[in-house]
């Protein structure tokens, strides 16, 4: 059969249209909506609720009636038992830390929460109420909480959304409202809620449930979401905590656990700069009441140099991260205390505008970070990852100022004013170290 040129192009058009229609049908969400996993009407209804226009019914974070709890308008500051003590906690150790928080000036520098991490739990009583391990905490948690409060501090505790905690103690699954009530009776001010032994649970649902339980107690309890920035390999759990956590918790872990090293991986734990690289890109999710949590400070635990620890403190402040010390406050040396209580760096972390900083230039091992502060000034970190000292320059346009502007430079580690500059600021930065300044008009 002979088809002329026009006829041929008509045939091509028809073939193209048919193929496109077929492809569209395969890719279309309508196909999914029309194909429920089961044949019964109930299954169709459930399927439509998740995949159809009403799917927010499965997204507690999208409930228009949900409000943030109004707490942690600046990143929480405190101490947590895990990094130093692990499961070796008892009431004597926690009391000593509470005393030291006062005696060392940590409290006056802004550290508020004393948080006992995993392994405080005993059994559930016959009514299902959680009790403390009576060997480690013979006076009970309420007495410890009262002691911490008597020092002008706040008290925090730890549990898990699964059947067991990561340390194998009892978790809160199935007891969320009951446990929240127990914590409120113990005058708990902060709950870190972990993610071990959760099976196929959906984390948004699990954390929203505990958030609701905490709210229902009527007590102000900061809620720390600790699901490590990972996703379960399940159908429904496809959103990260920073996608849904803003009105559910006050902070969410961005990574697996930190360990006390400059860089690297040890089992499921990551070194300091690995955590920085995973957290920095999330800067847009942080804000008053809801913070990225790159895990706790290792400052003073011995695995890094004082220079590297100054780096951790500076970068955590730039990321608007919670400052939760994890060392033995009672026995810390001067270097450690001077880092943890550096008020000029703490002021950057606690800036009331709550806009997290970010890396504005990445020249391989040499980086420039900038954070805009409420008074219009900028915190700048020059970060040298290499193993040799190096000059690093921050130019005004890359940190958000016009070139000709005259800016005062204040060194936040040396606590000295370096005069006024235009155009740029250059400093020699030690290996694995930082120079941190504040630029202001």
Binding of residue 298 to ligand GLA (CB under 6 A): no
Whole-number minimum distance, CB 20 to ligand GLA, in Å? 49
Task: Report the residue number whose CB is nearest to ligand GLA.
Answer: 166
Q: Which helix (H) or strand (E) holds 31?
A: helix 29-33
Binding of residue 194 to ligand GLA (CB under 6 A): yes
Whole-number minimum distance, CB 144 to ligand GLA, in Å? 18
Whole-number minimum distance, CB 169 to ligand GLA, in Å? 8
The C-alpha atoms of residue 167 and residue 22 are separated, in whole angstroms, by 53
Whole-number minimum distance, CB 201 to ligand GLA, in Å? 16
279-285 long-range CB contacts below 8 Å, 24 or more apart? 279/254, 279/255, 279/319, 279/321, 280/319, 280/358, 280/359, 282/242, 282/254, 283/319, 283/356, 283/357, 283/358, 284/356, 285/242, 285/246
- Alpha helices by DSSP H, listed for 87-170, are 91-103, 106-109, 141-150
Cβ contact 340:106 at 8 Å: yes
Q: Is 194 a catalytic residue?
A: yes
| Part of the chain binding ligand GLA (CB under 6 A), chosen from 23-31, 165-173, 207-215, 216-224 | 165-173
Q: Of these residues, 189, 237, 257, 295, which one is catalytic? A: 257
Whole-number minimum distance, CB 133 to ligand GLA, in Å? 14
Member of 226, 315, 317, 373 binding ligand GLA (CB under 6 A) = 226
Of 43 and 231, which CB lies nearer to ligand GLA in the complex structure?
A: 231
Q: Which helix (H) or strand (E) holds 346?
A: helix 343-349
Member of 82, 223, 262, 401 binding ligand GLA (CB under 6 A) = 82
Of 157 and 368, which CB lies nearer to ligand GLA in the complex structure?
A: 157
Task: Compose the 228-257 pattern: x for residues touching ligand GLA by CB under 6 A, - for all others.
Answer: x----------------------------x
Could you give phi then psi for residue 113, rounded to 5 degrees? -90, 130
| Part of the chain binding ligand GLA (CB under 6 A), chosen from 164-172, 205-213, 337-345, 392-400 | 164-172
- Alpha helices by DSSP H, listed for 224-320, are 241-244, 272-279, 306-318
CA atoms within 13 A on the CB side of 355: 12
| Part of the chain binding ligand GLA (CB under 6 A), chosen from 49-57, 62-70, 161-169, 204-212 | 161-169
Angle at 203 between CA 201 and CA 207, to 5 degrees: 115
Cβ contact 83:326 at 8 Å: yes
Binding site for ligand GLA (CB under 6 A): 82, 117-118, 165-167, 194, 226, 228, 257
The residues carrying an active-site annotation are 194, 257
């Amino acid at each position: 059969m002979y088809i002329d040129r026009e006829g041929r192009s008509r045939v091509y058009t028809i073939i193209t249209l048919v193929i496109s229609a077929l492809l569209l049908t395969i890719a279309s969400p309508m196909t999914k909506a029309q194909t429920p996993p089961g044949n019964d009407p109930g299954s169709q209804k459930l399927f439509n609720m998740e995949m159809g226009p009403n799917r927010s019914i499965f997204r507690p974070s999208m409930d228009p009636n949900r409000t943030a709890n109004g707490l942690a308008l600046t990143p929480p500051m405190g101490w947590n038992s895990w990094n130093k003590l692990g499961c070796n906690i008892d009431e004597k150790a926690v009391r000593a830390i509470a005393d030291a928080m006062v005696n060392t000036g940590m409290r006056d520098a802004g550290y508020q929460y004393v948080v006992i991490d995993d392994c405080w739990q005993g059994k559930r009583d016959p009514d299902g109420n959680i009790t403390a391990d009576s060997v480690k905490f013979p006076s009970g948690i309420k007495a410890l909480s009262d002691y911490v409060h008597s020092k002008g501090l706040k008290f925090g505790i730890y549990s898990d959304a699964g059947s067991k905690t990561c340390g194998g103690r009892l978790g809160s699954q199935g007891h969320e409202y009951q446990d929240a009530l127990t914590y409120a009776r113990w005058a708990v001010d902060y709950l870190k809620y972990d993610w071990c032994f959760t099976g196929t649970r959906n984390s948004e649902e699990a954390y929203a449930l505990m958030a609701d339980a905490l709210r229902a107690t009527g007590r102000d309890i900061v809620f720390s979401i600790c699901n490590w920035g990972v996703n379960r390999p399940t159908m429904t759990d496809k959103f990260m905590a920073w996608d849904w956590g803003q009105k559910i918790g006050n902070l969410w872990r961005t990574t697996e656990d930190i360990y006390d090293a400059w860089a690297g991986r040890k089992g499921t734990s990551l070194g300091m700069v690995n955590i920085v690289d995973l957290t920095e890109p999330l800067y847009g999710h942080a804000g008053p009441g809801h913070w990225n949590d790159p895990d706790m400070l290792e400052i003073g635990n011995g695995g890094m140099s004082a220079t590297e620890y100054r780096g951790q403190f500076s970068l955590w402040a730039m990321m608007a991260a919670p400052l939760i010390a994890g060392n033995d406050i009672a026995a810390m040396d001067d270097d450690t205390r001077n880092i943890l209580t550096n008020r000029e760096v703490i002021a950057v972390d606690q800036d009331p505008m709550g806009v997290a900083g970010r890396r504005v230039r990445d020249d391989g091992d040499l980086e420039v970070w900038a954070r805009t502060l409420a008074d219009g000034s900028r915190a700048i970190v020059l970060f040298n990852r290499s193993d040799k000292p190096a000059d690093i320059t921050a130019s005004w346009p890359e940190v958000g100022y016009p070139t000709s502007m005259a800016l005062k430079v204040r060194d936040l580690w040396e606590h000295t004013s370096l005069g006024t500059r235009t155009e740029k600021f250059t400093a020699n930065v030690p290996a694995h170290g930082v120079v941190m300044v504040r630029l202001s008009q």
